[in-house]
Structure 1
Amino acid sequence: MQSKIEKIVLDTLIELNEELELKELENPTLKTRLYGGKSNLDSLALVSFIADLEERLDEEFDKQIVLADEKAMSQKTSPFRDVQSLVNYISKLLDE
């Protein structure tokens, strides 16, 4: 399941980058920064990315999850800092 989540996250980033045209997001990896210092997305792009990602996850796993909720925002380390941390967070949410 982890590899399926990784693919969904990376594909969503690639699709978003078709609009943004950021060199840093042309070939995203698990280490690609999403939010915080040296991130590749501004706040508006992050919101768009999260909305698209939630929709894709619902379609793929038939389970609605909310990524940007109080639980995510209150964590000591943001699940949105890079692709790997987001994949790990999504995996936990899908297991609940």
Structure 2
Amino acid sequence: MKEKIQNLIIKTLLNYGNDYEIKELKSVNSETKLYNGLGGCLDSLALVSLISDLEEILSEEFNKEIILADEKMMSSRNSPFKDVNSLTEYIVQKIEE
């Protein structure tokens, strides 16, 4: 399941790289930094868009409503949006809840 989730994230980010011409997202891997507040390439608007798109994709894929931006995440000291790895782990936890 973890690999499937990571592949969905990477595919979504590659599409963002092409659609929005974000150079850093033209070749994405598990270490790719996401949110620019944490050294990544997505601004806050792009991050919100990514969260929304991933919620929709994951809900369809796993037949379960998945909310990524919740109170628990907002109060977390370590953002799950630091990089692809941390986002993958976060999503795995959300699906297993």
- When normalised by structure 2's length, the TM-score is 0.94
Matches within 5 A, 1:22-41: 22-35=22-35, 36-41=37-42
Matches within 5 A, 1:7-18: 7-18=7-18
The CA RMSD over aligned residues, in Å, is: 0.9
Deviations 1:43-90 (A, max 9, x none): 111111111111100111001111011111111100011110000000
Point out which structure has higher relative CO (alpha carbons under 8 A, 6+ apart).
1
Paired amino acid for 2:4: K
- Number of matched residues? 96
2:58: which partner in 1? 57
Q: Is the 8 A contact 2:59 2:65 kept in 1?
A: yes
% identical aligned pairs: 51
How far 1:37 moved relative to its partner?
2.9
**Aligned: 1:75 with 2:81:** no
Q: Counterparts of 1:28 and 1:39 in 2: how far apart (Å)?
A: 12
Q: Is the 8 A contact 2:30 2:84 kept in 1?
A: yes
Residue segments in structure 1 that go unaligned for 5+ positions in a row: none
Moved over 4 A (4+): none
